[in-house]
Amino acid sequence: MNNPSRNPIEKIISASKPGIGHAPFEIRFVWIGLFFTISGGLTLGSLAAAIPVFELPFANYYAIAYQLHGHLQLVAWTGCFIIPISLHFIPRFAGIPLKNPNVPFIVFLFFSASLFLRFFSQILLPAVPESFFKIASWLVFLSAILFLTAIYFYIKSIFHVMGEAKKKIKRPALPPVAPFFMMVLAGWMGYAIVNTVLTFSMASEGKFLSDVVWDRFAVEFFIGFVLFPISFSFAIRTFPLYLRLPATDWSVRKLAVFFLVTSLLALIPQLPFMHTIASAKSANISAVGIILRSLAVLWLIWKLDVLTRLQMNWVQKYEVEVPGDNRRSTRPGMPDYGEFGKFELLIYAAFTWLVLGTILQIINEVSFLWQGYRYIIDEAIRHIYLLGFITNLILGMAPRMVPAFMGVKTVFRPNLVTWSFFLINFAAFARIIPKLASNVFTRFGNILYGISGLFAMASIILLWLVLFNSRKVFNREA
């Protein structure tokens, strides 16, 4: 029998245990994120989808709703999970406490103030009198300054942890995924800077919207440098534990570096000013970068074994003992008893959508290089990544990770997690498929597209019910 303490997976397990000097989990991030996601991001997204489909009398709000929806979904929905979880997980994972344990709360204050100002200022721009228009515009810029400040404190804290971990090498499991984490830090700072510049330009020029081309680039940059790498790093270091998958005993660092290089190759030529310098060459270089990056993503999914389950998992490989007949059996192929719901369904769905998105993007870019045009619109692929992949992933990982960070051993009504799986994937289907096959889905497809946001909103509300009531039950029993 091998000694399981020597196994790579044990480093992951120990990283999740509470340690002396570590800051507690800042749960208020999650509550504020869910509030602005439900009341802001998804409400605006539903409105933006419904206005042209059902010919609603809100045409003046369409462009603002669409752009503000994008910002809130990136910052409130993904950011309010990524930032507190990484501030909680990475220091424990590295074995280095935050230098200032108050940083999570400080970041939360600036972050939540930014969301509040951005939402309530920009949404009012078409309605306020001209005398108040400038005030509202500059409040939008102030929200960007607050957001940039929050990101500064966040990056400074994580960078300090990673720097100390590199010196002391307390946890050998950190260096392989370090390039992914560095991409995330660069991605947050890059997005915050671009957001600040765009809102300043919007306010100074008296516009309702920030520059559309730069705003679209900022979204693509955020997906490539924040959402993908943070998702991959957490998948590599937690899936073996949560899903009983193979240990990551392959060269993660080489893949991370390759992903970084191909992401730069894909995104740098997409900078708006590059189109005026060498439009054709830039587009071709970007297409090659996207293809190579997509191949790296497919390779990662294969190595994770999250969809195929063809490889030997870490329990089998290292001959780790599992509960015998005299103990309660875990779920088949899983290390838990179902106390967190069937969260794995959402993770499987997330990576299924990711496979679909990467394959379609490869087809698109090969078609562009070969024939000069793309078959699939960017909006469809973007929603595959954001709604299909990222939203499923958060809905799956949140009930598995966040309760443990709060000290909760089981979630409130685990079956609600399964219901969120059905709701969000119907929403993803309704939002994405009509855009992929517009000739097949005509009027019916438009109706599906128009109501998709309501189903997405319902799935997020279920997540709020699960987390809030789990916390409430824990507080009552404590």
pLDDT category at 53 given cuts 50, 70, 90 is: low
Number of neighbours of residue 336 by Cβ within 10 angstroms: 16
pLDDT category at 169 given cuts 50, 70, 90 is: low
What type of residue is 37? T
pLDDT of the residue at 440:
63
Q: How far apart are CA 214 and CA 414, in angstroms?
A: 42
pLDDT of the residue at 434:
86
pLDDT of the residue at 10:
43
pLDDT of the residue at 2:
45
pLDDT category at 61 given cuts 50, 70, 90 is: confident
Name the pTM for this structure: 0.90
371-388 pLDDT per residue, tens: 988 989 888 999 999 999
336-348 pLDDT per residue, tens: 888 999 999 999 9
Quickly list DSSP for 124-193: TTTTS-HHHHHHHHHHHHHHHHHHHHHHHHHHHHHHHHHHHHHHH---TTHHHHHHHHHHHHHHHHHHHH
pLDDT above 70: percentage of residues in the chain: 87
189-210 pLDDT per residue, tens: 999 999 999 999 999 998 888 9
pLDDT of the residue at 45:
78
Number of neighbours of residue 149 by Cβ within 10 angstroms: 18
Q: Measuring CA to CA, which residue among 391, 476, 402, 395 is closest to residue 428?
A: 391
Q: Which two tokens stand for residue 396?
A: 């799956």
Q: Measuring CA to CA, which residue among 427, 439, 447, 458 is closest to residue 52?
A: 447
Q: How far apart are CA 42 and CA 48, in angstroms?
A: 10
* Whether pLDDT at 30 is above 80: yes
Q: Which two tokens stand for residue 80?
A: 């309010």
Please check whether residue 104 is in contact with residue 23, taking contact to mean a CB–CB distance below 8 angstroms: yes
- Between 243-257, 407-421, 464-478, the lowest mean confidence (pLDDT) is in 464-478
